[in-house]
Homo-oligomer: A and B are copies of this chain.
Amino acid sequence: MTFVVLALFAASAQAQTADDIIKRELATSQAYDTLQYLTDNIGARLSGSTNAAAAVRWATGTFQKWGIPVANEQVMVPHWVRGLEYGRLVSHRNQAIVLTALGGSVATPAKGITADLVEVSSFDELKTTDVKGKIVFYNNPMDMDMVRAHRSFEAYSKAVVFRGSGASRAAEYGAVAAVIRSVGSASLRTPHTGAMRYDPKLPKIPAAAMTVEDAMLIDRLLKKGERVTMRLVLTPQTLPDVMSANVVAEIRGSEKPDEIVLIGGHLDSWDLGTGAIDDGSGVAMVMETMRLLKEMDLHPKRTIRAVLFMNEENGLNGGRAYFAAHKNEKHVAVIETDAGAAAPTGFRTTLKAGALADLEKRAQPLAAIGAAHFESAPETGADTSFLTEAGVPGFGLVPEPLHYFDYHHSPADTLDKVDPKELAQDTAAVAALAWILANQ
């Protein structure tokens, strides 16, 4: 009986502290200030860039300023630099096509590639379409019904396969370049970039994303039976790999310091915007969680470790390096936040059945900010996927996803898209869940 009472008391104290964490964060959040410095004063920070290095120095220095032990863990990253990029429909009065190179793309010759466009909407179509010597145009919109049903990430996953491997698949059939329809859920002639990968066995052809409007234009012209010829100019460069770093900070556990609850986001961003929602906001949530726990002088039983991963966008080398260095440590849970900063709705988790039901009970304090919904999912974040695949329970914050892909990977991913109150709510959700997991 005494034991049960004590356990209940402990659970209640734990819940009370989670409540306090949430209230304190909502009342005194500095998350937006952190995000503002990262986006306004450092800005875009693609792996290998001087800005990415500046972000590492700034995050490290900020943890130090807060009195939180921090280390840089080195990781080699690619260094791809965007160049000139434009398209012209030479068949149609030289009409301008707004496009952006996909990350990792090789360059065209300086004078560009001029070739006919041929449209497909699946890899199967490549087999039955004459694409030799042509520019393959993958016209695959995000399913907007799915987006409106708040299943944006599912819609993204379906459409994005053509971004990742479309160039090599087209090259296999003799295409000279590949262009996709931007994977985005809104457009004001807005291009969305993102990573692509070459199959090393196939010729490397340039790859770009057109805006939705330009994709619709070319689709209309082709559907009218017109021959559409584009001049495509892309001059990106792949420079030698650069030594960069993950930033790792921690608050040591008071009872089980060797058991780790990891909270993480990624410090790198694409180069077109300033990476506010992807993933500056995740970085801000993770840093603010640590600042808050330190300021509140809270001492978790287990270690809470913050990891700001480098190179999530175009390589995942940071996540891979962290796993290689730390896989033998005992991670009891990982929380990744890389899905924007809209109001929290809950978490995706690899937990199932009884373990999930148990967690839901302990996570009731999160209901105060609408973040107590937990949904089983096969994966909960890219950087921490190496850990979850090794069996560590994973959590991924789920902010309301309706508008995330309006901005994602585009020039419009800027600070003004983030609401300070929602960012504080997200942070409170991450901080409270981390606390609960570290004290269970």
Which residues of A does B touch, CB under 8 Å?
A: 36, 40-44, 50-51, 54, 92-93, 95-96, 98, 186-190, 212-213, 216-217, 220-221, 273-274, 406-407, 410-412, 414-416
Contacts and interface: CB of A to CB of B under 8 A. Distances in A.
A92 B213 contact: no
A273 B54 CA distance: 37
Nearest to A218: B40
A416 B40 contact: no
Contacts of A44: 95-96
B188 A410 contact: yes
Nearest to A50: B93
19 contacts: A40-B217, A41-B92, A41-B221, A44-B95, A50-B93, A51-B93, A54-B93, A98-B411, A186-B188, A187-B412, A188-B406, A188-B410, A189-B410, A189-B411, A189-B414, A212-B416, A213-B412, A213-B414, A217-B414
B412 A42 contact: no
With most chain B CB atoms within 10 A of its CB, the pick from A93, A216, A406 is: A93
B188 A95 contact: no
Contacts of A36: 220
Given A40-B92, A54-B93, 16 more contacts: A40-B217, A41-B221, A43-B93, A43-B95, A43-B96, A98-B411, A188-B188, A188-B190, A188-B407, A189-B273, A189-B410, A190-B190, A212-B416, A213-B412, A213-B416, A217-B414
A188 B411 contact: yes
Contacts of A411: 98, 188-189
Contact of A93 (B41, B98, B190): B41
A-B pairs with the 4 shortest C-beta distances?
A: A189-B411, A188-B412, A188-B190, A188-B188
A187 B412 CA distance: 8
Contacts of A96: 43-44
Contact of A416 (B190, B216, B410): B216
